[in-house]
Amino acid sequence: MSRMTNSNNPYAEIVTVTVAGTPVTPTSAKVPDGETVCFRAHPDNTGYIYLADTSANALSSSTAHTRLSNDQVEAYQVKDPSKVYVNSSVSGEKVIVTFTRN
């Protein structure tokens, strides 16, 4: 999935999970009204990215809400991206966080 943003303030951030099994949270930047937060597994990743609502749920594929392989995207309607926990199956994997106009 790819979309161009019509936002007045385009936003992109690359989040790295330095150590697999140690969930991290992306930015707490305010999401503008009418925009969605997109999480895209970096195209160079070799493992999986896990997304969940808690650190505990992000620890495995059986408890994570979403599992992304490289270049896959998942969009969430959240106002605070730091409430989404990001984990990976391989240390050093990355996820790209963007805001997209609906």
Q: What is the mean pLDDT of residues 48-70?
A: 91
Residue 100's pLDDT is: 81
Beta bridge partners of 40: 73, 96
Burial of 87 (0-12, 13-18, 19+ CB in 10 A): buried
Q: What is the mean pLDDT of residues 57-72?
A: 90
As a whole number, the mean pLDDT across the chain is: 88
